[in-house]
Amino acid sequence: MDQASCRNVWLEATRHEKAEKLDNAFPNCACEIHSLCEAGGAGITSDELVARVFTDPASYSTSTDAIVGQSVTCVHSIGLSTIRQGASDEEIMSTIDVLLKQKNEPQNLVGASIVKTEMFRELGNPDRWFGVYATDDGSKEHHADLLGTSPVGSKSQIKNLKSHRRAQLCKVLKQNLLLESEPKVLLEKLRECGI
């Protein structure tokens, strides 16, 4: 298993099968040590920070003060997109801008969860529930996707296990949520936190 093999599986998988195909080809998040980016390089270290931006109502409900569970289901398909530590101001502001404009209904910035990668990797310990991979996203150089591994069992067991894992993921994201509704102020706060 090398960087090229990992990247090939990533590129050849259909959009909604990326997590499953990568896990089937290289179980237990074996490709995390490699970047899946075109530029190559090393993977994301366990002490690196990543940030997930939330907007209301697409991914966060301010009325219930909760992450919208449906918004993290992509962790088991295309991956949950995050900003990597070291991202430029332009990358961060572009991410916020896209999230505020991408849905059919108006979005309001809620803030961002700032999480050390090892927290995701330790969920389910000793099993691996989630991997964090360096991935491409347009021209962004500091992007990562959080990908869920494939549980084993009957269809109903797999559905329940994935649901449980996503609930635990939401708990981690909620515990590390930094509330801020102004994009430029959120950028400043992300910088203060080490992003």
Sequential DSSP letters for 134-163: E--BTTBSSEEEEEE----S-HHHHHHHHH
The predicted model gives 100-113 an average pLDDT of 90
Question: Could you report the per-residue pLDDT of 11-27, keeping only the tens digit for each?
Answer: 999 999 999 999 999 99
């050390």: which residue's tokens?
116
Give the C-alpha separation, 155 to 65, whole Å. Answer: 31
User: How many structural domains does the chain have?
Assistant: 1
Identify the H or E element spanning 170: helix 155-175
C-alpha distances out from residue 102 to 35, 57, 75, 135, Å = 27, 12, 19, 20
Residue type for position 107? Q
pLDDT for the residue 141: 86
Q: Which of 64, 66, 47 has the alpha carbon at shortest distance from 170?
A: 66
Range of the domain at 82: 3-192
pLDDT for the residue 24: 95
C-alpha distances out from residue 179 to 54, 60, 137, 186, Å = 9, 11, 25, 8
Phi–psi pair at 48, nearest 5 degrees: -80, 145
pTM over 0.85: yes
pLDDT at 174 over 90: yes
pLDDT for the residue 64: 94
pLDDT at 182 over 80: yes
Question: Could you report the per-residue pLDDT of 107-162, keeping only the tens digit for each?
Answer: 999 999 999 999 999 999 899 999 999 999 888 889 999 999 999 999 999 999 99
Residue 81 class from Cβ within 10 Å (0-12 exposed, 13-18 middle, 19+ buried)? buried
Identify the H or E element spanning 53: strand 49-56
The share of the chain scoring above pLDDT 90, in percent, equals 89
pLDDT at 102 over 80: no
pLDDT at 173 over 80: yes
C-alpha distances out from residue 147 to 57, 105, 106, 120, 150, Å = 23, 27, 28, 10, 10
